[in-house]
Amino acid sequence: MSSTTLAREIHISAVGMAQPQANIKQHHQLPISTRHLTTTSGDYDTSNPPEVRKYLRTYGMVPPAVESHEQQMQRCLNILALKSSNIEKWQYLTQLRATNVHLFYRLLAQNVKQITPLIYTPTVGEACQRWSELYTQPEGLYLSYSDRGHLYSILQNWPHNVDITVLTDGSRILGLGDLGVGGMGIPVGKLALYTACAGIRPEGTLPLCLDLGTNNKALREDPLYMGSRREKVSPQEEKEFLDELMAALTERWPGIVIQFEDFKNPFPALERYKDTYTMFNDDVQGTGSVITAGIISAVKLAGIPVRDHKAIFLGAGSAGVGVAKQIVEFFIKEGLTEDEARRKFWFVDSQGLVTNDRGGRLAEHKVYFSRDDNEGRQITSLEELIDYVKPTILMGLSTIGGAFNAEILQRMAQLNDRPIIFPLSNPSSKSECTFEEAVKHTDGRCLFASGSPFPTLEHAGKSLTPGQGNNMYVFPGIGLGAILSKAVSVTQDMIYASAVGLATSLNESETQQGWLYPDIRRIREVSVSVTRHVIRAAQDGGVDRELAIRHLDDAQLDQYIKERMYDPFREGEKIQDEVNQLFATVSGGATAAPIELVSARASCHL
C-alpha cells in the first residue's frame, strides 16, 4: 500500500465514523518502518493542487506553484541532461522513483525509448556491478541463506500487497557473471518495466534478492560488499531454500506471480516449480518468446521457406536453449516434424560445437540439441562451423562481446541475401556485434536484433532502425496475463501465446518498413495484445481462476485489461476525486467529517 493509499484509507475510514480522531491517532502509531516505506508515492507531487496538499497534510512542504505534468517532466529531463554519465542518470532516476513514484512513471511512459536504457540494460549492468559502492536506500527484500526457517516472517516485513515478484540470486547478471547481492538491480529494473510497460501497480511489485553466497572472490573481499561473504551454497542447499521460499511467498500472498531471473543454472528450479506455482523463468521462457516473435517476422522478410532455414547459436546456456526450444515449436507449427525442427540448430559453447562424441559430460539442457551427425569432426571455430553449416540465422547468447567479427558477418552476407543476425548478449559491451558493424559488413542487408539498444543509423541514403530483441517486450504481458487470469501456473502455451501476441502487434507502418519488433514507444499497446494472448492461452488450458472474464470477446477483454492498468497520469485525478467527494460530504453537513480536513478548510479559507 502506498502512503497515499494508506493515508487515504485512514482519512476515508474517518468519514462516517463517530471518532475520526481515533483513526488519525492510529496513523501516527504505525510502526516506523511502515511509515518510512509508505512516504514515497505522490504525496509531495508538485502537480497536487492546494486542496489535495491540505488533504495529504503536505501543504507548505513543497514550493507554492502548482505544476503541470509537462513542467515537472521538463525539469526531470533538464536534470538528466546535467548529468554527465549514465550511472549518474540512473542514480537520479532511482531517487525520483523513491520520492515521487507517479512522476517517475510518467517520465518513463512519456520517454520510454530514452529512459529505458538508463534504468535497464545497459546501465543497470553497471549499477549491479557497483551496487555496494553506490547503495543509498532500500528498494526490495534481501533474504540470506542464514534466514532459512524464518522466510515467511521476513516476508511479513514487506508492508504492501504483492501481485508479482522478480527474484534473482545474482549468480549470472546479464553477461557480467556472478554479482552477488548487486544482482538486486535486475529485479528493481525489471519490475519498473512491469509497471511502465504493462501497468502493474508499483506497490504490487516486490524486488527480491537471494543472498545465497557468491563465487565472485573479488566481491567477497570487497570491504564495501553488502552480501554474505561466503561461497555460493550447494545446489541441494539452494533447492531447500527455494522450497521454503516458494511456499512462504504463496502463503503470504496467495495468487502471487513469481518470476525467476538471472540464475546461473535456472533449469532445476524451473522444472521443480513450473507446474505447482504461478512462476516462470524470464531468461529461458521470456527470451524464447521474444526471439521467436522476431524470428517469425524475420523468416517472412528473408523470403526463404521455414524448411530451408538453419541456425547457429553461439552460446548454449539457459537463454540459448530456451530460445531454440521455442523456435522448434514455431517450426513444428509450420509443418516440420519435431526431429526435423531440432536438427535445424547447431550449438557452440566455450568448447566448440556441441556434439554427442566430443568427450566429457554434456550438461543436461544441451543434450536435446547435441549433434550426432558430425562424423567425428570436432569444430571449435565459429568461422569453420559457418562454412560447414551455411546457416541463414546466427544467434549470439554467449556473453562474448564482439564475437561476430567482420569476417563472420561478411561470410553470412555472402551466404544469404538477408542474413538473420541476432547478437543478443547484454549489456551492450557483451553484444556479439554492434548494429553499425552488422550493417557495414552485410552492406545493410541483415535482419538484425540485439538484446541491448543501438541507435538508428544512415546507410546508403536510408535510415535503418535496429530491432531490440529484448524480453521486455513480453515479460510485462506474461506477468499481467497471469495476474488477471489468476492463473494457477504459467504454461508453455501461455509463453508461446505471448510470442504470437507480440508478433501480431506490429502495425502496418512497422511491417512495411521491415521491422522485426514494434516501436518500443507503443509498448503499453503491445503489452495489451501480449496480455490478451496469455489470458486466452490460460483459459484454453484451464489454468485460469478468473472465470468471470472467460465470456469476454477480444475487444471486451482488451478493454478489461486497459482498465486495470496503472496509469501514472491519472493518479492525481483519482486523489482529486476523493478530495471532492470528501468536501461534498463536509459541505453536506455530515456529522463525522475528518477533523483535520475541517480545520484545514477553516484556517486556509477554502
Ligand X SMILES: NC(=O)c1ccc[n+]([C@@H]2O[C@H](COP(=O)([O-])OP(=O)(O)OC[C@H]3O[C@@H](n4cnc5c(N)ncnc54)[C@H](O)[C@@H]3O)[C@@H](O)[C@H]2O)c1
Ligand Y SMILES: O=C(O)C[C@H](O)C(=O)O
Alpha carbon distances (Å) from 446 to 206, 413, 417? 40, 8, 8
Site for ligand Y in 172-201 (CB under 6 A): 174
Residue closer to ligand X by CB (options 302, 316) is 316
Of 49, 98, 128, the residue nearest 202 (C-alpha): 98
Which is it for strands 279-281 and 257-260: parallel, antiparallel or unpaired?
A: parallel
Q: Is 315 helix (H, G, I), strand (E, B) or coil?
A: coil
349 is in an annotated binding site: no
Q: Is 178 in the site for Mg ion (CB under 5 A)?
A: no
Residue closer to Mg ion by CB (options 442, 470) is 470
Per-residue contact flags (x/-) with Mg ion for residues 358 to 387, judged by CB under 5 A:
------------------------------
574/571 Cα distance (integer angstroms)? 5
Q: Which does 4 bind (CB under 5 to 8 A by kind): ligand Y, ligand X, Mg ion, none?
A: none
Is 194 labeled as catalytic in the residue annotation? no
Of 478, 445, 103, the residue nearest 258 (C-alpha): 478
Of 514, 382, 500, the residue nearest 446 (C-alpha): 514
Q: Closest distance between ligand X and the C-beta of residue 363, in Å?
A: 8
The H-or-E segment that residue 258 falls in is strand 257-260
Classify burial at 308, counting beta carbons within 10 Å of its beta carbon; exposed 0-12, middle 13-18, buried 19 or more: exposed
Q: Which does 184 bind (CB under 5 to 8 A by kind): ligand Y, Mg ion, ligand X, none?
A: none
Residue closer to ligand X by CB (options 90, 473) is 473
Binding residues for Mg ion, rule CB under 5 A, total 2
Q: Which does 315 bind (CB under 5 to 8 A by kind): ligand Y, ligand X, Mg ion, none?
A: ligand X
Where along the sequence are the contacts to ligand X (CB under 6 A)?
172, 174-175, 283, 287, 290, 314-320, 348-350, 397-400, 424-426, 430, 451, 469-471
Residue pair 490/280 in contact (Cβ under 8 Å)? The answer is yes
- Classify each residue of 492-530 as buried b or exposed e, where b means 16 or more C-beta atoms within 10 Å of its C-beta: bbbbbbbbbbbbebbeeebeeeebbbbbbeebbebbbbb
38 Ramachandran zone, left/alpha/beta (phi>0; psi -120 to 50) = alpha
401/175 Cα distance (integer angstroms)? 9
Q: Closest distance between Mg ion and the C-beta of residue 287, in Å?
A: 7
Q: Is 288 in the site for ligand Y (CB under 6 A)?
A: no
35 is in an annotated binding site: no
Q: Which does 400 bind (CB under 5 to 8 A by kind): ligand X, ligand Y, Mg ion, none?
A: ligand X
Residue closer to ligand X by CB (options 163, 283) is 283
Site for Mg ion in 42-71 (CB under 5 A): none
Of 55, 59, 58, 57, the residue nearest 593 (C-alpha): 55
Q: What is the C-alpha R_g of the chain? A: 26
Site for ligand Y in 459-478 (CB under 6 A): 470-471
261 is in an annotated binding site: yes
Of 413, 222, 255, 396, the residue nearest 324 (C-alpha): 396
Selected catalytic residue, list 55, 120, 194, 517: 120
Written as nine digits, the cell of 323 is 530460445
Q: Closest distance between ligand Y and the C-beta of residue 175, in Å?
A: 7
Residue closer to ligand X by CB (options 248, 293) is 293
Q: Is 398 in the site for ligand Y (CB under 6 A)?
A: no
Residue nearest to ligand X (CB): 317
- State the sign of the Cα–Cα–Cα–Cα dihedral 591, 597, 600, 604: negative
Selected catalytic residue, list 55, 89, 145, 190: 190
Beta strands in 265-398 (DSSP E): 279-281, 311-314, 345-349, 352-353, 393-396
Is 368 labeled as catalytic in the residue annotation? no
Residue closer to Mg ion by CB (options 169, 283) is 283
Q: Is 283 in the site for Mg ion (CB under 5 A)?
A: yes
407 is in an annotated binding site: no
338 is in an annotated binding site: no
Residue closer to ligand X by CB (options 351, 492) is 351
Residue pair 206/157 in contact (Cβ under 8 Å)? The answer is no
Residue pair 424/396 in contact (Cβ under 8 Å)? The answer is yes
343 is in an annotated binding site: no
Q: Is 262 in the site for ligand Y (CB under 6 A)?
A: yes
Q: Which does 430 bind (CB under 5 to 8 A by kind): Mg ion, ligand X, ligand Y, none?
A: ligand X
275/541 Cα distance (integer angstroms)? 13
Q: Which does 397 bind (CB under 5 to 8 A by kind): Mg ion, ligand Y, ligand X, none?
A: ligand X
Binding residues for (S)-malate: 172, 426, 470
Catalytic annotation, residues: 120, 190
Binding site for ligand Y (CB under 6 A): 121, 174, 262, 282-283, 426, 451, 470-471
Binding site for Mg ion (CB under 5 A): 262, 283
Binding residues for a divalent metal cation: 261-262, 283
